[in-house]
Structure 1
Amino acid sequence: MPDRRCETAPALTGPQWSQLTRLPGKDELFALDLFAREAWATLTQQLGEQGAYGFAQQAALMWVRPDAVAAGSARQVLAAMHAAGFRPLAAQPVHVDRCGVRALWAYMCRWATVERLWLLDALAALGPGLLVLWADDTGHEASARLTALKGSNAPGRRAGEKGESLRDIAGSPNRLLTMVHAADEPADVVRELGVFCPWPQRRALVADAARNLAEGGCCELQDALAAVEEELPPLGIPAPGTAVPAASDLVTGPLGHRWAALWAASCQWPLLTVNPGPAAWPEQESRTPWR
């Protein structure tokens, strides 16, 4: 008789995604998304189903990106989060590779040029960023308030924020070097835990964060950031240049050379395509980066 144990193993299921997203159509996509389902499995194993829903709704996810570390503004970003009433629950240095870049922005790159993807790959190759889970002690939904605080990826759209957005504080110069990434809503918190962390690291991160969330505690960020900076030391803002970098400059040579080439290319290479790809869910049809 054939061994049928694999056919009867528990399925890698997910939640009612409509409880974790406000966007019609997004719930259907996330129900099929392997990163989202995998991370939900970690949350339910650690916290139970109701605990998983509560965690996704109460925790905000931020990746202080390698460009913020290289620019020397990561500490200002973390200080601004404390000042805004967020409490750090858990943190890990995190690398993102080329496949991770595409996974992280899989649903959001419909306007991206191929050049933009190359630049994001070069950014990720600089070194790690710092992944932080936060609680919002003001009583609001943590991910929604963090998304608002983060600010637009286009500097011109931040004019009404009076320089108070995290991306302004970090010194983001354009829509490529945005310095700070944040999960937009609870569904994204779940999915991005699956993108950023493999099983063992995700389990440890969730356990630490859930404990601090329940006990009103916080994690120590300075040691985690020091581990990131040991691999990717702050380099500062590169001096302005006029030459358009070659693609090879982004991936060869010393770290400082690659950082300067990335900064220059982000200001000179095309980042938006005129003809976007298909929208992932209906709400995206109304979005345009041109205004």
Structure 2
Amino acid sequence: MRRPTAGCEVPELLSRVARKREIYAGDPYYRDTWDDLAALPGGRPAAVEGLHAVAPLVLRPDAIAARGGAGLLAAVRAAGFVPVAWSGFRFDRHTTREVWRYQLNIATRERIDVMDLIMPAGESLYVLLRDTRRAGIPATTRLSAMKGPSRPEDREAHHLRRIAGPGQASVLTYVHVSDEPADIVRELGIFFDGPERTRLLGALDARQDVTEQVLAALAETESRSEASDLCWRSALDRLDGLLTGRPDAAEASALLRRVRSGGSRDWRSLLALADRLGVAWGHWDRVAVAAELSSRHLEAEPVIPDVGRSAWRPAGAPPAPADRGPASLPA
């Protein structure tokens, strides 16, 4: 194994995955936040302990569009997670690729393009949660196990992704949760600049409850976002209505019929034809169709796989009832 970059380390207390520890030691985003930890009261040792007690919940733009945020916050609070800090931010194509840099090697080109339609489409909320139940595993690992699978048909009523919105397509996952404390460190470096990272890290041992502030921010964010049920069939119905009666829409209407009947999955051409015709087809309708029709994953293993609860169980401990292994890949 190569030696980590001098001056930066990834302790086993932050990750149980040797490959992740090796990679993150040289990752510039991880290193940014690792340096920030040294300036906190108690230094890095206290910060590493504090990172075990918190978990960030990222409400993605699709959760905002589905109006699922309030239900998500109620669900995590009922499970013993209390919001202690929050920040609004916006994904762009670079942020999207960096967050999932070590998993997107298994995503098809189409799937990445659909993520580019989803993630920058609106604002996201980063909510830092304190775990009041401390179940003997990191808060990130406990919260990540709650989010549920990416495949909609595998989501159950208690999963956060089911609570957030209707299960339409595997790329519409509504929430992002860090797998392990090391991922908190790296993702803070991706999402935020130094002053904002310092502010959020200052809440590691906070005891305040900022639920009302988060709900107010959520309501304001939703007011700036188009609401959507993200149902692809309804989206096609709306496009059909926009095309009906237009003599210049014969090509688009024919492709729409083929898509509806299962004879085509050419979402790129359908979106391009809608653009060429200048129809007022909503962005989230376009996303819903692209999400349903796009190809998914390549036959490959991610550079760094998801980490389940089993990685953090003490040796010899029986599996916990909720321990079902890694919940999902990002999309």
TM-score range, shorter chain: 0.7 to 0.9
Task: Among all aligned residue pairs of Structure 1 and Structure 2, give the percentage whose two residues are the same amino acid.
Answer: 31
Q: Name segments (4+ residues, structure 1) moved above 6 Å.
A: 250-256, 281-284, 286-289
**Distance apart, 1:199 and its partner CA:** 1.4
* 3-state secondary structure, aligned to 2:106: coil
* 3-state secondary structure, aligned to 2:208: coil
Structure 1: segments with no counterpart, 5+ residues: 1-10
Query: Which one of the candidate residues 197, 208, 216 is aligned to 1:217?
Result: 208
Q: Which residue of 2 aligns with 1:168?
A: 162
Query: Which one of the candidate residues 51, 56, 62 is aligned to 2:57?
Result: 62
Question: Over alpha carbons, which structure has the higher Rg?
Answer: 2
Equivalent pair of 1:25/1:282 in contact (CA under 8 Å): no
How many residues align? The count is 270
**Distance apart, 1:248 and its partner CA:** 8.4
**Distance apart, 1:16 and its partner CA:** 3.6
Match of 1:225, as an amino acid? Answer: L
Q: Which residue of 1 aligns with 2:81?
A: 86
Q: Which residue of 2 aligns with 1:34?
A: 28
1:96-175 maps to which residues of 2 (within 5 A)? 96-140=91-135, 141-158=138-155, 162-171=156-165, 172-175=167-170
How far does the alpha carbon of each residue in 1:97-118 deviate from its partner, in whole angstroms, 9 at most, with x for none? 1000010001112320011111
**Distance apart, 1:240 and its partner CA:** 4.6
Let me know the Cα RMSD of the aligned residues.
Answer: 2.9
**Distance apart, 1:175 and its partner CA:** 1.8
Equivalent pair of 2:99/2:190 in contact (CA under 8 Å): yes
Q: Which residue of 1 aligns with 2:240?
A: none
Equivalent pair of 1:67/1:179 in contact (CA under 8 Å): yes
Q: Quote the Cα distance in structure 1 between the aligned partners of 2:84 and 2:306.
A: 34
Q: Which residue of 1 aligns with 2:182?
A: 187
Q: Which residue of 2 aligns with 1:279?
A: 303
1:207-286 maps to which residues of 2 (within 5 A)? 207=202, 209-210=203-204, 213-214=205-206, 216-219=207-210, 220-238=213-231, 239-241=234-236, 243=259, 244-246=266-268, 249=271, 257-274=282-299, 276=300, 279-280=303-304
Match of 2:18, as an amino acid? Answer: P
234-243 or 81-90: which moved more? 234-243
Against the structure 1 CA distance between its residues 137 and 116, is the aligned structure 2 distance closer, same or farther, given a 3 Å change threshold? same
Structure 2: segments with no counterpart, 5+ residues: 237-255, 260-265, 309-324
TM-score with structure 1 length normalisation?
A: 0.83
TM-score with structure 2 length normalisation?
A: 0.73
